[in-house]
């Protein structure tokens, strides 16, 4: 490989970069130089300079006493870091990211990109990006860090011209308002002895609350498992929410952040953990400002002694929604899933037993303790238990987050909560669990929506990300969109996923699908991939073939 040489003939990036070192020290200030802070420090570089140069990577490696290769491979793993090779040009000063995942694709993302590309100047670049968590307002463009909902050419260029590149701070129930409404009283009752740890865990078990990030593992049982693990123990809250079609965590976070914080602090007390780590996806810049503000307010006037609470920022990697990949990322590494066993409840963050929970799961803890296990468990329909927050997007009149009984059917959800289909559109099919959850036809619109009810049909509910298709959409095209997403987001660690998704895209782009070959490929991905990304990636293609055969005639 050819090396770029500086003015004095030295190989760039291998001599001590004194100016870059000074930049690093100014940026980092008194922040720790420990390995787990690497991604946080890379964000500081990206935010300050608009890119990450080779000299800054070397300087950061020197300052943190890490091999340069480790810093480089971590920086280049994540989509949101613009790493510039020696001699390369930095990117334009402003990036406009246009989501091209499922719902945005349905509502004209491709045309929007073409319009923006045709008129942008040299100081702006347009990027196709995966889901940014605002599917109810498709199509979405992000100008800098400012999300433009129901984006048009005019809206985007207005934001560019007015330099509107920062995310707005959402209006939420703030700390004082939360206290005034009885907030943190349950936590205080726990700490003062009005509640017993085992009783609290039993309440959660009796409520049938399950993990609402996708896997659906019973929350109370997970807490009990952690109680039995050796100390010290940690908690990691997953707000990465990268599944196309999902935005429920953002919805609750923007409105009532202290409810999940209180639930997390109750979990900290119940399992006697040492510290709490909150992992938030980078696309939620407004939520990050909000969380920092409200955590600061909590620390300034705490209702009780608080444990260390660390807010960590993702960097654009869907794979980090997988619990062990998220833990790797919190540790400052590439977000690659770990082989299991051991499970993160045994050996998790920094090698300690770790309670990993989705943010929405913790959102319900206070209500369940206050109102009782029966209150939550009695909410379901069709023999199911509990409530579900459905992120609904697509061809319905009222997209958004709809809180409904677990076990509600798709037809009931559309009619009772979503205001019916859009005028001129007929219910055709739906993704019940985001891109990875498969696609079902309208003829299966009366299947209860919950954990364990969709598997017989080759699908699953996951994080309840519902994308509704009409007779003007193509299940085949949506399956291809989903597979392109998986190809782009594969971490590359295992061959079945890395190669399988790429091969599947090429086969699915052809006019005639080689269905036997695609099924053979799907089986290999399902059986041999390390984590859920590769295992679930074949679901949409299999469903398209199985349930929408007329599209292949």
The tens-digit pLDDT sequence of the chain (553 residues) is 344 444 444 545 467 789 999 999 999 999 999 999 999 999 999 999 999 999 999 999 999 999 999 999 999 999 999 999 888 999 999 999 999 999 999 999 999 999 999 988 889 999 999 999 999 999 999 999 999 999 999 999 999 999 999 999 999 999 999 999 999 999 999 999 999 999 999 999 999 999 999 889 999 999 999 999 999 999 999 999 999 999 999 999 999 999 999 999 999 999 999 999 999 999 999 999 999 999 999 999 999 999 999 999 999 999 999 999 999 999 999 999 999 999 999 999 999 999 999 999 999 999 999 999 999 999 999 999 999 999 999 999 999 999 999 999 999 999 999 999 999 999 999 999 999 999 999 999 999 999 999 999 999 999 999 999 999 999 999 999 999 999 999 999 999 999 999 999 999 999 999 999 999 999 999 999 999 999 999 999 999 999 999 999 8
* List of residues 6+ apart from 427 with CB closer than 8 A: 411, 414, 421, 442, 445, 468, 470
CA 99, CA 167: separation in Å to the nearest integer? 16
| Any domain includes 10 | no
Tokens of 450: 């919950």
CA 355, CA 348: separation in Å to the nearest integer? 8
- The H-or-E segment that residue 252 falls in is helix 248-255
**Sequence-ordered strand ranges (E) for 309-348:** 309-313
CB-CB contact of 102 with 245 (8 Å): yes
Residues 148 and 31 in one domain: no
| Any domain includes 347 | yes
| Any domain includes 415 | yes
Task: Tell me phi and psi for residue 69, to 5 degrees.
Answer: -60, -35
CB-CB contact of 56 with 45 (8 Å): yes
Tokens of 123: 């100081």
Write down the pLDDT at residue 13.
47
Tokens of 322: 């997988």
pLDDT digits (tens, 9 = 90+) for 254-264: 999 999 999 99
Residues 344 and 400 in one domain: no
Residues 304 and 354 in one domain: yes
* List of residues 6+ apart from 308 with CB closer than 8 A: 274, 275, 276
CATH of the domain at 236: 3.40.50.11540
Taking Cα atoms as reference points, which of 244, 318, 229 lies closest to residue 281? 318
> 3-class DSSP state for residue 52?
strand
Tokens of 403: 């809180």
Tokens of 78: 């994540």
CA 348, CA 329: separation in Å to the nearest integer? 12
Task: Tell me phi and psi for residue 67, to 5 degrees.
Answer: -60, 140
Residues 214 and 306 in one domain: yes
Tokens of 337: 């899933």
Residues 536 and 550 in one domain: yes
Residues 280 and 325 in one domain: yes
- Dihedral of the alpha carbons of 402, 405, 406, 410, in degrees to the nearest 10: -60
Write down the pLDDT at residue 2.
45
Residues 39 and 70 in one domain: yes
Taking Cα atoms as reference points, which of 548, 406, 525 lies closest to residue 475? 548
Q: Where a domain ends, among 28, 51, 84? A: 84
Residues 366 and 480 in one domain: no
CA 297, CA 12: separation in Å to the nearest integer? 45
> 3-class DSSP state for residue 148?
strand
| Any domain includes 167 | no
CB-CB contact of 52 with 13 (8 Å): no
How many domains does the chain fold into? 5
Instruction: Provide the residue range defining the domain that includes 389.
Output: 380-472
* List of residues 6+ apart from 370 with CB closer than 8 A: 186
CA 466, CA 463: separation in Å to the nearest integer? 9
Write down the pLDDT at residue 86.
84
What's the 3-state SS for 391-425?
EEEECECCCEEEEEECCCEHHHHHHHCCCCECCCC
CA 96, CA 491: separation in Å to the nearest integer? 24
CB-CB contact of 359 with 260 (8 Å): yes
CATH of the domain at 522: 1.20.1440.230
Residues 478 and 463 in one domain: no
C-beta atoms surrounding 318 within 10 Å: 27
CA 156, CA 140: separation in Å to the nearest integer? 10
Residues in the chain: 553
| Any domain includes 9 | no
CB-CB contact of 479 with 487 (8 Å): no
- Dihedral of the alpha carbons of 496, 500, 502, 503, in degrees to the nearest 10: 140
CA 430, CA 168: separation in Å to the nearest integer? 32
Q: Regarding beta strands 83-84 and 234-239, do their DSSP bridges make them parallel or antiparallel, or are they unpaired?
A: unpaired
| Any domain includes 5 | no
Taking Cα atoms as reference points, which of 328, 309, 311, 308 lies closest to residue 319? 328
Write down the pLDDT at residue 14.
60
| Any domain includes 188 | yes
| Any domain includes 6 | no
């Amino acid at each position: 490989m050819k090396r770029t040489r500086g003015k004095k003939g030295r190989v760039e990036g291998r001599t001590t970069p004194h100016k870059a070192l000074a930049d690093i020290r100014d940026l980092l200030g008194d922040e720790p130089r420990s390995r787990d802070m690497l991604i946080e420090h890379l964000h500081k570089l990206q935010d300050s300079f608009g890119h990450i140069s080779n000299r800054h990577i070397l300087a950061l490696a020197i300052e943190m006493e890490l091999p340069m290769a480790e810093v480089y491979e971590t920086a280049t793993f994540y989509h949101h870091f613009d790493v510039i090779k020696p001699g390369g040009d930095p990117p334009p000063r402003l990036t406009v990211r246009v989501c091209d995942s499922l719902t945005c694709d349905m509502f004209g993302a491709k045309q929007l990109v073409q319009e923006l590309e045709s008129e942008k100047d040299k100081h702006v670049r347009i990027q196709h990006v995966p889901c940014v968590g605002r599917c109810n307002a498709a199509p979405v463009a992000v100008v800098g860090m400012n999300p433009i909902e129901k984006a048009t050419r005019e809206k985007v260029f207005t934001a560019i011209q007015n330099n509107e590149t920062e995310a707005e701070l959402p209006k939420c129930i703030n700390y004082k308002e939360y206290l005034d409404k009885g907030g943190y009283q349950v936590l205080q009752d726990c700490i003062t002895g009005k509640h017993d740890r085992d009783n609290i865990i039993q309440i959660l078990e009796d409520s049938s609350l399950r993990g609402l990030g996708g896997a659906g593992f019973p929350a109370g049982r997970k807490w009990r498992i952690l109680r039995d693990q050796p100390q010290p123990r940690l908690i990691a809250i997953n707000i990465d929410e990268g599944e196309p079609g999902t935005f429920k965590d953002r919805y609750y976070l923007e409105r009532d952040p202290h409810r999940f914080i209180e639930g997390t602090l109750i979990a900290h007390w119940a399992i006697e953990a040492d510290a709490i780590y909150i992992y938030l996806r980078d696309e939620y810049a407004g939520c990050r400002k909000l969380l920092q503000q409200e955590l600061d307010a909590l620390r300034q006037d705490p209702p009780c002694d608080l444990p260390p609470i660390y807010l960590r920022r993702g960097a654009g990697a869907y794979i980090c929604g997988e619990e062990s990949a998220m833990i790797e990322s919190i540790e400052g590494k590439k977000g690659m899933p770990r082989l299991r066993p051991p499970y993160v409840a045994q050996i998790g963050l920094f090698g300690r037993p770790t309670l990993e929970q989705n943010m929405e799961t913790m959102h319900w803890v206070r209500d369940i303790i206050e109102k009782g296990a029966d209150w939550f468990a009695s909410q379901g329909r069709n023999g199911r238990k509990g409530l579900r927050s459905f992120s609904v997007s697509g061809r319905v009149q009222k997209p958004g987050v709809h809180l409904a009984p677990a076990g509600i059917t798709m037809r009931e959800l559309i009619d009772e909560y979503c205001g019916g289909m859009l005028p001129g559109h007929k219910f055709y099919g739906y993704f019940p669990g985001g891109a990875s959850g498969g696609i079902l036809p309208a003829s299966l619109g009366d299947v209860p929506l919950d954990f364990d009810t969709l598997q017989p049909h080759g699908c699953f509910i996951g994080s309840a990300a519902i994308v509704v298709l009409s007779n003007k959409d193509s299940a085949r095209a949506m399956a291809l969109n989903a597979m392109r997403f998986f190809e782009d987001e594969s971490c590359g660690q295992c061959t079945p996923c890395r190669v399988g998704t790429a091969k599947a895209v090429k086969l699915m782009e052809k006019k005639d699908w080689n269905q036997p070959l695609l099924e053979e490929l799907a089986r290999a991905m399902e059986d041999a991939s390390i984590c859920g990304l590769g295992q679930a990636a074949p679901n949409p293609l299999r469903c398209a073939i199985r349930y929408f055969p007329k599209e292949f005639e």
